Amino acid sequence: MEKILKLFIILLALTFIKFDVFAATTSTPTPANIQNQIDELKNKIASKVAELKLVEKRGIIGTVTDSSDTQITLSDSRGGARFVDVDELTKFYSSDKSFGISDIKNNMTIGILGLYNKQSRRILAREVNDITTPPKIIYGGIGSIDKQNFEITVVKENGAKVVIKIEDVTKTYSYSSDTLSKSGFSKIEETQTIMAIGFPDKLDPNKLIATRILIFPQIDIASRINLGSAINPTIPPSTGSGKKLYPLTK
């Protein structure tokens, strides 16, 4: 019995000695190993630092969808909901000096400058600015031009038609031969590629009052844009009684 126990103890001791020897041989430091360990450590430190940097300064623009004394909910340009916290340190700026949290109403466009928490995805507002709604941009092909009313019908890629109203304040530019130069309404032609920047007409939501127009004569209209009947629409003359006169066809 004693023999067996002694043998067992010797075996056990040998096993552990072996382990130590192998462990020592496997962890023999080589320059490559040390470099790997340094890199690993660097990565760990970097990720830890990134974790700690939970808060960063950010500025956003959005349309108010909901507001209370301590929170504003915005819809950003992508339609995503953004949650903004307001506290006693938040400052409010507007042309109206008495502008405050109680003046924030739904559908207002505001700008927020604050501290964004990456974990909670909320912004603690430090500044709330009452800003004007950014202009809308319409891109497409010119389907028709109404020279009497100074209106252009633009066909978008999705097939929708938008009427662009040209006003005295509208600035027109043309881009050709790598140069953007001033142009005029009279130089705009059908089937040209257009980018119109402006604000929706309050009376007609399908109409855009243009502040700027960019024409690209050297860029083809996208193949997805179907100008179709928008080009030279045949408007039958009115008789004045509400009936339209159509030409006789053989």
Partner 1 sequence: MKQERVILSFIMVVIGLLVAGAAFYFYQTTKVVSTNSSALANPTPTESPKSTIFLSINTPASEEVVSNKTLIISGKTLPQATIVIVTNSDQLVVKPSTQGDFSTTVTLENDQNLIRIHSLSSNGEIATVERTVTYSTNSF
Contacts with partner 1, residue ranges (CB under 8 A): 1, 4-5, 8, 11-12, 15, 18-19, 22, 26, 57-61, 77, 89, 93, 111-113, 115-116, 126-127, 129, 131, 134-135, 137, 139, 141, 157, 173, 175, 178, 180, 193, 195, 197, 212, 214, 216, 218-225
Q: How far is the CB of 210 from partner 1 (least distance, A)?
A: 12
Q: How far is the CB of 57 from partner 1 (least distance, A)?
A: 4
In the complex with partner 1, which residue's Cβ is closer, 7 or 204? 7
Q: Which residues contact 136 (CB under 8 A, 6 or more apart)?
A: 197, 198, 199, 200, 208
In the complex with partner 1, which residue's Cβ is closer, 185 or 238? 185
Q: How far is the CB of 178 from partner 1 (least distance, A)?
A: 6
In the complex with partner 1, which residue's Cβ is closer, 134 or 236? 134
Counting beta carbons within 10 angstroms of the beta carbon of residue 226, is it exposed (0 to 12), middle (13 to 18) or buried (19 or more)?
middle
Q: DSSP string covering 136-169, please?
A: EEEEEEEEEEETTTTEEEEE-TTS-EEEEEEEEE
Residue 135, CA distances (Å) to 197, 206, 210, 211, 212 in order:
6, 15, 9, 9, 10
